[in-house]
Structure 1
Amino acid sequence: MATVRLVPTVRRRRLGSTLRRLRNDAGVSIDAIAEAMGWDPSKVSRIENAKAHLPVKDVAPLLGQISVTDAAVIAALEGLAQDANKTGWWTTYGNVVADGYKDYIGLEEDAESMHIYAQGLIPGLLQTGAYAREIIAGTEPQHTPGNVAALAEVRKKRQAVLTDGTRANGPLKLWAVIHEAVLSYRSAAQPALMREQLRHLLDMTDLPNMTIQVMPKDAPAHPGMVGPFHVVRFPQPWPTVINLENIRGGYFVEGTDEVKAFESAFELIVAAALPVDDSRETIKKIMEGIPA
């Protein structure tokens, strides 16, 4: 398993790790790359470890040294090199947004699709503002009311990826499997909170890029019982990343074998969950049972 902290930006780290993977696949050493490019070997190492910037003009020549000639791959890496030092909108919130959360939002912004198993909470991309504020305040009690409001605002801004047609890959394709118990949460302070939240889930199922399933309480044993996770997929040549959630925020898992294990697990979760139409009816039934 890998890794925790993406340094210094998630895009630079993805660029470096992809270059390292392509170089290793080609069987070319760091020293050979350095000699061909007229660089010190430490420079190649720093680029691959996200410690140094790679100018866009050097991307194609570097790839040429490891026999990468696919125009789409070259263009993708050049685009990432161009954006590697850019900071996202979420950085304007300063330390209110933890470093790991910033990294996750960066991945989310570039993702093509995402598969989520949600065991305890409505996924952030599907939360209403009221639900987000209550959950953030309850699960992260160290935050001031001002920070809670700011984090709820961040969560709402993240949701733009679901409808933004100007993204390179179009709106994010989201497939969420949500445990039925999550839908039954009741707020003592806001009795109607979940009615609004479930109405929002039903509205979101109308989006063509959205799939929502409910994991029933009487479902057979399945891999999701171990815990929630996100499968974050990107266009080629970027590898898929797994995000595992915990009380401290979460951490990333990469590597072919690890990713395949979670992708297979999600397929089993989908099979154990209610079909899409039945899931919608379940959400509607629970919503209608909540007083207006």
Structure 2
Amino acid sequence: MIPRRRLGHELRRLREAAGLQLVDAARRLECSPSKVSRLENGQGLPKLRDVRDLLDLYDVRDHRLRTRLQNLATASQDEGWWSDHPEAWPPNLGSYISLESAASGMQWFSGFAISGLFQIPEYCREIFRNNYPSAPDSEIDQLVEIRGRRQRYVLDRLGDLSVTAVIDECALHRVVHSQGAMRRQLASLLDVAEHDRVDLRIFPYSNGYNLGIQCNYVIFTFDNDTDQDTVYQELSGGDRFSAQESEVKKYQDIFTNLLSKCPDQKSSLDLIGKVLRTNYE
């Protein structure tokens, strides 16, 4: 979704800069103007050959720009690796992964469980097993595999992506799967937090109630003018996305307030270590 939208934005900009109409581009591609319009709106699946022809038509000679746009066309073809997913998976999976795979920043709050991005397989499997009790083991295995693939992709992007995560302290104490799994889960949290692009905070019991802990949510931010910052809310009645500026700002303000009431990262990691030693060793 996002690679296609970015590619379409660039193709429209280049066509207009070249002083050409949709019909001119369509003539070059030997197609209808509506097809070119769909490509520019991020709705059509771009073929690499068509993108090359349009770049030639628009007299784009910048090698780096040509390479970047052709890479976007290739990435657009790769979108949807998750499409063959279990029926139990939420229908908005594609939108979520598209945002997750392209954002420059993520602000993540998780209240009742460890954030999905940081879950180890045992912990993750138990969560899915409880969320989808009637699903066969094969589907649960597939759900765990998909989440693991997402985790690897996001962690591989940490050079370009920054993650700020707040986890409520209750998630550290709630035993998911087993004592041994919790020991490994908290140890994994400490390992992930060593990355300089991850800011992990714990909202402690001692800080009482905060508006920010009413539901799990993620704020996706982008460092370009093409993509809109978006908030995702994980609600019991159904997940919800919003790119409305006022809604995103509301959650950014809530998250900023929540973060300001958390101890710093070192103190948060010390708290994780204390719970690990006290509860799970």
Interval containing the TM-score (normalised by the shorter chain): 0.7 to 0.9
Identify the residue that residue 97 of structure 2 maps to in structure 1.
Answer: 105
- Residue type of the partner of 1:108? E
> What is the CA-CA distance between 1:121 and the residue it aligns to?
1.9
> What is the CA-CA distance between 1:213 and the residue it aligns to?
0.1
How many residue pairs get aligned? The number is: 269
What secondary structure sits across from 1:192 in the alignment?
helix
Identify the residue that residue 4 of structure 2 maps to in structure 1.
Answer: 12
Identify the residue that residue 5 of structure 1 maps to in structure 2.
Answer: none
- Residue type of the partner of 1:261? K
Question: Relative contact order (alpha carbons < 8 A, sep ≥ 6): 1 or 2 greater?
Answer: 1
What secondary structure sits across from 1:84 in the alignment?
helix
- Residue type of the partner of 1:57? R
> What is the CA-CA distance between 1:262 and the residue it aligns to?
2.6
Residue 221 (structure 2) pairs with residue 229 (structure 1): no
Identify the residue that residue 138 of structure 1 maps to in structure 2.
Answer: 130
Quick one: distance in 1 between partners of 2:233 and 2:134?
22
Identify the residue that residue 210 of structure 1 maps to in structure 2.
Answer: 198
In structure 2, the CA distance between the partners of 1:288 and 1:50, relative to structure 1 (3 Å rule), is: same
> What is the CA-CA distance between 1:133 and the residue it aligns to?
0.6
For structure 2, the 5+ residue unaligned runs are none
Aligned positions of 1:84-123 closer than 5 A: 84-91=76-83, 93=85, 95=87, 97-123=89-115
What secondary structure sits across from 2:82 in the alignment?
helix
Identify the residue that residue 199 of structure 1 maps to in structure 2.
Answer: 187
Aligned positions of 1:28-43 closer than 5 A: 33-34=21-22, 37=25, 42-43=34-35
Identify the residue that residue 56 of structure 1 maps to in structure 2.
Answer: 51
For structure 1, the 5+ residue unaligned runs are 1-8, 65-69
- Matched-pair contact (CA < 8 Å) for 1:120–1:179: yes
What secondary structure sits across from 1:115 in the alignment?
strand
> What is the CA-CA distance between 1:90 and the residue it aligns to?
3.1
What secondary structure sits across from 2:167 in the alignment?
strand
Residue 178 (structure 2) pairs with residue 190 (structure 1): yes
- Matched-pair contact (CA < 8 Å) for 1:162–1:171: no
What secondary structure sits across from 1:142 in the alignment?
coil
TM-score by length of 1: 0.74
Identify the residue that residue 174 of structure 1 maps to in structure 2.
Answer: 163
> What is the CA-CA distance between 1:14 and the residue it aligns to?
5.6
Quick one: distance in 1 between partners of 2:54 and 2:250?
32
In structure 2, the CA distance between the partners of 1:35 and 1:156, relative to structure 1 (3 Å rule), is: closer
Question: Among 250, 271, 274, which residue is 1:261 paired with?
Answer: 250
Residue 281 (structure 2) pairs with residue 289 (structure 1): no
Residue 145 (structure 2) pairs with residue 157 (structure 1): no
RMSD over aligned Cα atoms: 3.6
In structure 2, the CA distance between the partners of 1:42 and 1:92, relative to structure 1 (3 Å rule), is: closer
Q: Say which is worse superposed, 86-95 or 227-236, in terms of deviation.
A: 86-95
Identify the residue that residue 6 of structure 1 maps to in structure 2.
Answer: none
In structure 2, the CA distance between the partners of 1:238 and 1:179, relative to structure 1 (3 Å rule), is: farther
- Matched-pair contact (CA < 8 Å) for 1:205–1:211: yes
Quick one: distance in 1 between partners of 2:90 and 2:277?
37
